Amino acid sequence: MDSADSVPEGAWTALDRIMAVPLWLYTLFLFLAPSPRPPRTSEKQYTTVLSNGDVSKPQQLPCWYDNHVALKGMAREGKIQRAEAFQVEEGGVFMSLVVPAYNEEERLSGMLEEAVDYLQANYGHHGTKSKSSSNGSLQAAGQEGDPRRGWEIIVVSDGSTDKTVQTALWFARTHQMNKHAAQHGPWNGSLSHGSIPPGSIRVVQLEENRGKGGAVTHGMRHARGTYVVFADADGASKFTDLGKLVMACEKAKDKSGRAVAVGSRAHMVGTEAVVKRSVLRNTLMRLFHLLIRTLTTRRTAEIKDTQCGFKLFTRPSLPYIVPYMHSEGWIFDVEMLMLAESADIPMVEVAIGWKEVLGSKLNVIYDSLGMALGLATLRFGWGFGLYRTD
């Protein structure tokens, strides 16, 4: 008698169901997994303020990412070595700041005030050495082509329906013409810079909201900096701590110049800024951190604060991270760190100053559930090798 004849009726049906579980999980993942939409033509352009104070016509954004994609195509065809596709061109400025902004007309000016004050003081072409570079003395400060000089701010309006775009351009105009009034952020720092160079602030408009992660990734694709940092539009992170991130990256970067510095608020647990939060928000925060430690890869799980909106990347690290981003919502920070880990890019956590700022777009319950689902989806895709990084 055939062995199959001895199997009780219905047993094979149960086995089929068990074998079908991976297929169902894969199908569910494909349904839930984020799929970033390609940028539209207008989104690959920017406006800025000209030297005469007029707003420019839309201009084409430089894009190292498009060049990277083209080089990867050549590598697949065997025309070049794969490693050559990851050699990004040198930065045109020392520091690029990417600011994702969704309906931030009320808070954006204060954040830009502190950022511009620091960037111009440390990276402006005014003949002083960089104060936040561990080896800035290697170059003659202010010299033409000095890689430690020059900065840009890319404000990415994420489908804003208020006056975020007009606010950013107004800020640029008044600060270029040196007719600005003090617009202090939450740190109430003093202003020391004069007028800023024309075109330093570039404004990109996404036609519809993509999420914070989508806006950050879009901005980073077009950044010209030797270093690229993103910061929240609310100004909660102390921007003068940027120098600490730069120095940490310079000490940690590998022989290819790759490194990521993660601004961290972990040292502030128990301080007034955190204690004053609601019990619900602090509880959800702790649960989310537990999920991160449980679901993420080893080195990422060691980062005590993955969600602080203040992270710095060396330019050579960008091709290993930005092209492979899937998450466009709040969980995108974790994916960036996991991608950095997968490429064996050094990561260092740096304590920064931080304050709670009113006007947050975060819905504590809804977004916490979304972040938990996003983290689970990310881990599933990562664990099953569905998120390719080649």
3-state secondary structure at position 382: helix
User: Residue 48 in contact with residue 201, Cβ under 8 Å?
Assistant: yes
3-state secondary structure of 124: coil
Q: How far apart are CA 237 and CA 356, in angstroms?
A: 9
Q: What pLDDT sits at residue 30? A: 65
The predicted structure's pLDDT at residue 202: 98
Residue 14 · residue 307 · CB < 8 Å: no
For the chain, residues with pLDDT lower than 50 are 1, 127-145, 190, 275
For the entire predicted model, the pTM comes to 0.84
Instruction: Determine the residue type at 330.
Output: W
Q: What is the pLDDT of residues 124-177, one digit of tens each?
A: 875 444 444 444 433 333 344 455 689 999 999 999 999 999 999 999 999 998
CA-to-CA distance for 338 and 356, rounded, in angstroms?
27
For residue 252, what pLDDT is reported?
A: 97
For every residue of 283-329, which 3-state class applies, written as one string? HHHHHHHHHHHHHCCHHHHCCCCCCCCEEEEEHHHHHHCHHHCCCCC
Residue 321 is predicted with a pLDDT of 96
Predicted confidence at residue 192, as pLDDT, reads 55
Residues 6+ apart with CB under 8 A from 331: 213, 370, 371, 374, 375, 378
With contact defined as beta carbons under 8 Å apart, do 242 and 118 qualify?
yes
Between the alpha carbon of residue 288 and those of residues 137, 330, 360, 371, the distances in Å are: 43, 12, 18, 8
